[in-house]
Amino acid sequence: MAERSASRLTTSTVRQMPLVAGDPDTDTGLQCNLLKLRAVLLLLGATYGSKLMTARAVADELRSRRLKASERSVYSWRNRYLRFGFAGIVRQRRSDAGCPLKFRDETITGIVEAAVRVKFHGDMAREFRRLRAGISYGNFRLWVRRIQKQLRVIELPERGE
């Protein structure tokens, strides 16, 4: 019997292919990345018209192995694999790692004061440099805009005066 080519994988073939040799209950980082790579390769090998079925089958199988996966995540792994290779599949460190998740009281009061003073984009950058807090510029902008929105709601005059 002739072997199936990689471009003729079906949903039943996906279920028949073995996962990773070893203990199926251990979810180490390497095994997780290998499972993601397998999912990507199966999706890349699927024929036109069967990609969605393949992505669903692979996502279901990964969920049954207690790995957080959906059809959309399989497609995003594929896109990152095509762009960056195996390094794109590996889980990345958060961009805000090392930044505090909570603000100190001084930081909050500084952001509120800055929100009152900010009128233009240049003011935003100046106030951020002046604050010198352990937060990112994006976070600072987000909170200043939220506070300004609340201040506008508070300061609106009542109708019919």
pLDDT in tens, 71-129: 898 999 999 999 998 888 887 777 766 566 677 777 888 888 888 888 877 788 888 88
Q: Is 46 helix (H, G, I), strand (E, B) or coil?
A: strand
Degrees, nearest 5: CA angle 138-142-147: 150
Q: Give the 3-state secondary structure percentages of the chain, helix then strand then coil, rounded to 5.
A: 65, 0, 35
Residue 28 in contact with residue 17, Cβ under 8 Å?
no
Q: What b/e sequence results for 37-66 when a residue is b if at least 16 CB atoms lie within 10 Å of its CB, and e otherwise?
A: bbbbebbebbeeebbeebbebbbbbbeebe
pLDDT of residue 106: 79
Q: Where are the alpha helices (DSSP H) in 8-120?
A: 11-16, 29-45, 51-64, 71-84, 86-89, 105-117
Measured distance CA(99)–CA(96) in Å, rounded: 6
The pTM for the full model equals: 0.47
pLDDT tens-digit map of 132-153: 877 888 888 888 888 888 887 6
User: Which amino acid is residue 43, in one-letter code?
Assistant: L
The first and second tokens of residue 115, run together, are 């929100």
